[in-house]
Amino acid sequence: MSRILRSNFKPGSPNWAGRRAQWRALGLSDADMEKPKIAIVNSSSELAICFSHLDGVAAKVKEAIRAAGGMPFEVRTAAPSDFITNAGRHGGYILPTRDLITSDIEVQVEGAMLDGMLCLASCDKTTPGQLMAAGRLNIPTIVVVCGYQDSGQYRGQHIDIEEVFLKSSYVASGGVSLAEITEMADNAVKSPGVCAGMGTANSMHIVCEALGMALPGSSPVRANSPKMMEHVRRAGERIVQMVWNDEKPRDIMSAESFANAAMVVLALSASINTVKHLQAIAMECELDVDVYELFARYANQIPLLAAIRPTGEDLIEDLEAAGGARAVMKRLETLLFANARTVSGQTVGEALRGVEVADEAVIHTLERPVSKPPSLVIVKGSLLPGGGIVRLGGPAERTLRFSGPANIFHSREEAMVAIGRGAVKPGEVVVLRGIGVKGGPGLAMTSSVVFALDGAGLIDKVGVVTEGQLSGLVNRGLVVGEASPEAMEGGPLGLVNNGDSITIDVLAREVNLDVPEAVLEARRAEQRQYGSRTERGWLSVYQRTVQPVHKGAVLLK
C-alpha cells in the first residue's frame, strides 16, 4: 500500500487547496482524503425500469469500498433506455448516447483524477459506454453486472418486454387488439433490471465477464438477488486492491480476451450489437484487433451451446441456474485463451477451475451442441464491402441464399406503411438505407420492419438488407443488419435502384449487387447522399464525427 495515488496532490498546491476546501465542506476527514478515490459510475435515471434499482446498488457499493479502505464518489452519466429513449428522432439518440456516456465518464473521472472506477452495468448502451471508458481512461475498473428483470404471465403464458415489442407490430394489421397489447404490456415486467432474454443488455453483461472486466460468475444474474448483492460487495472490496496494485483495463482487455468474448457470443447466439460494441471497446483500448475478422474466424468453430430466448425457449433464468457465462466458458475451455486476465486477479483458466455445468439440457457440450451452423455470420461482398451481420440463431431451418429485385426505403416508417398496404411483394429484397450512423443520424432501430414483415406473412418470402440495427426477437427470415458502409458515406448501397438484383448468400458470406460495373460507374457520377443532415445538438456533433459501423461507430479522435 505504498503506491503514490494520482489523486493525492502536492500539499499546498492550488489543486490541493481548492479540493480540500470543497471536500472538507462535504465532510471528508484528513484520512479520507488520502484513501484511494473510487468513482461509482451510476448510469441511471427515473425514466426506465432497466436501471431504476441502481441507487440502491450504489449505496451497497459505497459501504463495501469504505469497508475496504477506499473513498467512494458516485457520479452520474447520461442513461438511455432502448424502450424509452428511442421515441425521439426516429430512435437516433440511442447509439450516440453510448459515446456520450464514455465522454461523460472521461470528463468526471479524468477531470477529478480519481484512482479507479466501479461501473454499474444495466441497459443496452450503458455497458458498452462504460467499457469504452475503461479502455480510454485505463485506470483500475470493474464492471458490476446489475441484473435482469422478472418477466410476467399473460393468459397463462410467459410474457416479456421483447414479446410486447414484437406483438405491438401486429396491432396495425389487426393481428393483436389494443386491449390485448395493453394487457401484455401491463404484465410483461415485474421488477427492476434489464430486459429478459438474450437481448443486447444481457448479452453485454455476459461479454463483460468473458472479457474479464466483471467478476467471474456474476452474469447473467437476477437484479437485486442475494447473489448479485454478494458480487456487488466483492467488487467494492476488490476495486480498492486493484487501485493499490495498479491493475488496469488494458492489462485485462487483451487481443486474447476479445477472442474469448467473440467465442462466448457465438456459443450463445447473443445480440448482433455485441460485435460493433466490442470493436468500439477495442478501439478505445488502442488495440489493433479486427473484431469482425474474429467473428468470421470463429464462426465455423463455435457451435450453439445454449438456446436462450429469442433463439430458443429457455429463459435467461435457466442460463443463470445452469451456471451462467462461467459454465458456458467451461464448455469452451479447450478453445479459450486461458491466460487472459480477469478483474478477480485470476486468469480465465484459474477462474474456470472446478466450475461445473448445473444443467446439461440448457448448456450443451461442444460434441453435442444445440446446432452446428454459426449463430452470427459476418457477410461482405460488392454491396457491403465493409460488412453486415446475419443472425442465424438456432436450429430452425433457414433460407441461406436469396436473390431478388431491390425494393428501397429510406426510413422504417416508410417501409412499414408500404408493408401495410401490400407494396412489398414476395421475392423482393427490402433495402433500408439513409438510416445508418451518419445518415440517421444514429443508426435507426429496424427490428419493427422485420416484425411487420413477419406480421404480413412475408418474412420467409423476402430478403432484407438494412443499414439499421436489429434487436429483440429478430430470429426469422434472411435479414442482413448494420450494412456498411452506409449510403451517406458513399457506399454501394447508395448506387442501388429499385428493381436491381441483389443476392444474399450466407454460405459464401456475401451480399452482392448484380449490376454491371459499367452501369455502376455511370451512376457514381450522379450518386446522391441519402440520409438527413442535422445542423444542431448532440446528433449534429455525432453525425460529423462518427466513423463507420464496421469500425465500431466510435467518434473521430
- Give the interface with ligand FES as residue ranges (CB under 6 A): 48, 50, 81-83, 123-124, 194-195, 199, 201
Q: How far is the CB of 221 from ligand FES (least distance, A)?
A: 14
Active-site residue, selected from the candidate residues 471, 484, 501, 540: 471
Residue among 126, 344, 324, 121 nearest 235 (CA):
344
Continuous segment of H or E residues that includes residue 24: helix 14-25
CA dist 19 and 33 (Å) reads 9
Q: Any idea which residue has 441502481 for its cell?
A: 54
- Name the grid cell of 122: 444495466
Closer residue to ligand FES in complex, CB, 61/194: 194
Q: CA 141, 146, 149 angle in degrees (round to 5)?
A: 160
Q: How far is the CB of 482 from ligand FES (least distance, A)?
A: 18
- Name the grid cell of 140: 483500475
- Name the grid cell of 342: 480477469
Other CB atoms within 10 A of residue 3 CB: 11
Active site residue 257: no
Closer residue to ligand FES in complex, CB, 83/542: 83
Q: Is the separation of the CB atoms in 487 and 493 below 8 Å?
A: yes
Q: Is the separation of the CB atoms in 389 and 296 below 8 Å?
A: no
Q: How far is the CB of 161 from ligand FES (least distance, A)?
A: 7
Residue 485: cis peptide before it, omega within 30 degrees of 0: yes
- 326-347 per-residue burial string, b: 16 or more CB within 10 A, e: under 16: bbbbbbbeebbbbebbbbbeeb
Closer residue to ligand FES in complex, CB, 214/487: 214
Q: How far is the CB of 460 from ligand FES (least distance, A)?
A: 27
> CA neighbours within 13 Å on the CB side: how many for 316?
28
Q: How far is the CB of 222 from ligand FES (least distance, A)?
A: 14
Closer residue to ligand FES in complex, CB, 192/434: 192
Q: How far is the CB of 95 from ligand FES (least distance, A)?
A: 13
Other CB atoms within 10 A of residue 557 CB: 7
CA dist 394 and 304 (Å) reads 7
Residue among 339, 340, 335 nearest 365 (CA):
335
CA dist 136 and 249 (Å) reads 9
Q: DSSP code of 91?
A: G
Q: How far is the CB of 471 from ligand FES (least distance, A)?
A: 8
User: Can you name the residues that pair with 466 across neighbouring β-strands?
Assistant: 432
Closer residue to ligand FES in complex, CB, 116/199: 199
Continuous segment of H or E residues that includes residue 513: strand 510-513
Residue among 322, 312, 326 nearest 219 (CA):
326
Continuous segment of H or E residues that includes residue 328: helix 324-331
Q: CA 438, 49, 413 angle in degrees (round to 5)?
A: 35
Closer residue to ligand FES in complex, CB, 115/124: 124
Residues present in the chain in total = 557
CA dist 54 and 122 (Å) reads 9
Closer residue to ligand FES in complex, CB, 54/343: 54
Q: CA end-to-end span of the chain, whole Å?
A: 36
- Catalytically active residues are 471
